[in-house]
């Protein structure tokens, strides 16, 4: 389907608005967290309440609702590619495939970082997020569900999707992946985030549906969440299973 120039201009400004909403969400805590805390105290009467986790989730939900309102025009989603999206089963399969590819890609990127760049394993950004999640478990919903949707709307549709037309896949994927990597503020492991973003862009490009990278991103974050919270238990379980298998006749 061919889209008129004025439609494409409208979609461009919608993308800018989506990016602006995401950027505002990221910095809003600097000046809204304290009023939010006072509001919580007024509602609950509990001055010891920890507002950070609740605020992060509330602000993310509001940002997502605003983005959904901004992008309600179906043409905004269909105008990226000159072909229809794949069927729902194929989209889900691409999402699962993307999850596996990101795991492999992150492993290779981490190997390059440790072997050739002398960078130690472990992400300070991820560690900080899950320390916050331990104090406020509601953040898990942000990490596993809301966050992936927001980031795919911004980095895959708004940035990659906008750049794809006037450039090409590689340029659009690299620029959107670099933006995705930078926004995580873990510059030591920039390569890992860059590879992840590039794979998410590839999944979006191949499936022609934003739901495929969202599924891949959700699966990845859920997997990391489980590994962070239950890593020691899973390791002990694996050791027990290994011993059991070893002694099987």
Which sequence positions are flagged as catalytic? 151, 184
Torsion angles phi and psi, residue 117, rounded to 5: -110, -5
CA 1 to chain centre: 30
> CA–CA separation, 165 vs 162, rounded Å?
7
Q: In this structure, what token pair is assigned to residue 215? A: 């599924």
CB proximity list for 102: less than 8 A, separation 6 or greater? 195, 196, 199, 200, 216, 220
Q: Is 75 exposed, middle or buried (0-12, 13-18, 19+ CB in 10 A)?
A: middle
């Amino acid at each position: 389907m061919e889209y008129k120039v004025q439609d494409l201009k409208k979609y461009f400004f919608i993308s800018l608005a989506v990016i602006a909403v995401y950027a505002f969400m990221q910095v809003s805590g600097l000046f809204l967290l304290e009023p939010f805390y006072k509001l919580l105290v007024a509602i609950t009467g509990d001055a010891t309440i920890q507002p950070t986790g609740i605020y992060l989730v509330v602000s993310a939900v509001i940002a997502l609702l605003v983005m959904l309102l901004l992008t309600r025009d179906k043409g905004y989603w269909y105008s990226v590619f000159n072909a229809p999206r794949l069927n729902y089963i194929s989209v889900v399969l691409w999402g699962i495939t993307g999850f596996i590819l990101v795991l492999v890609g992150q492993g290779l990127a981490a190997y390059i970082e440790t072997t050739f760049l002398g960078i130690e394993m472990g992400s300070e950004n991820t560690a900080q997020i899950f320390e916050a999640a331990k104090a406020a478990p509601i953040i898990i919903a942000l990490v596993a569900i809301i966050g992936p949707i927001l980031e795919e709307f911004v980095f895959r549709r708004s940035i990659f999707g906008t750049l794809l037309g006037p450039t090409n896949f590689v340029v659009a994927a690299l620029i959107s992946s670099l933006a995705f990597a930078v926004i995580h503020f873990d510059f030591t492991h920039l390569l890992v985030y860059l590879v992840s973003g590039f794979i998410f862009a590839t999944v979006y490009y191949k499936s022609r549906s934003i739901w495929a990278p969202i599924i891949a991103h959700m699966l990845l974050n859920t997997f990391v969440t489980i590994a962070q919270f239950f890593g020691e238990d899973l390791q002990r379980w694996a050791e027990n299973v290994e011993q059991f298998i070893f002694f099987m006749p």
